[in-house]
Structure 1
């Protein structure tokens, strides 16, 4: 076997750190619970063939949370392996506009939490970097 076998192309995905202002004007972040993995994460999913990453991110937010969102700043791209294959997920901060959550098989629950509580709830440590970036930007404005 040769060492110069090309690596598998990454699985491309996109998502958002979905946020809103709470009743007192404080930042609240939406996390989704995926029963298949029993985890809490930001809404995200794989790009469809030919789909733009931002369009995919907003589609995934709508599908998983029921909310339309206004995209903002692009956040750090996360790169990690899933089942030995590289995965690359582009993220944006996105403000929730309007919507209503309906539980489904992919996402059975969402929560709106203050950043500190959301940070504790997130299953994957890598997702916390995205939350921290959004929280810092929110504090500056």
Structure 2
């Protein structure tokens, strides 16, 4: 008799909708990263390391992928999707960039700061677009 297939736990990841005030006019800008491995534009995010809390992973991933330090704000909706046939669960926060500078690396070769409407259009995956709206709504409440 064949063994029943056991459902696997989703891959756990965390990330941020990273934002700042434009140095030119004070308007909100959203950071997007380009990942050459996937040739896509997305929010900074990555997998949790063993036992790591999602909020710590989100801050770490922002630092690793963008070179930016950030302060976490509102919790945003968790994304659920399939990646390479595996279920993935990504915990998101709005996060304000507080300093740092970008250096291209193996994971991320470009960083763009865009107004929210341009950032929505520039994102590769439709599932990432509502996160910008959720972050802006959270910022309106503070």
| TM-score range relative to shorter protein | over 0.9
Quote how far apart the aligned CAs of 1:2 are: 6.7
Distance 1:2 1:92, change over 3 A: farther
Quote how far apart the aligned CAs of 1:25 are: 1.8
Residue 75 of structure 1 corresponds to 76
Residue-by-residue CA offset, 1:27-72 (whole Å, 9 max, x unaligned): 1000000000000000000000010100000000000000000000
Quote how far apart the aligned CAs of 1:24 are: 1.6
RMSD, aligned CA? 1.5
For the residues of structure 2 that align with 1:75 and 1:139, how far apart are their CA atoms? 14
For the residues of structure 2 that align with 1:87 and 1:78, how far apart are their CA atoms? 8
Whether 1:17 and 2:2 are equivalent positions in the alignment is no
Residue 5 of structure 1 corresponds to 5
Quote how far apart the aligned CAs of 1:6 are: 2.2
Residue 92 of structure 1 corresponds to 93
- Give the number of aligned pairs: 141
Would you say the 8 A contact 1:27–1:138 is kept in 2? no
Would you say the 8 A contact 2:74–2:138 is kept in 1? no
Quote how far apart the aligned CAs of 1:82 are: 1.1
Q: Which runs of 5+ in 2 are unaligned?
A: none
Residue-by-residue CA offset, 1:4-31 (whole Å, 9 max, x unaligned): 5321110000000000011322110000
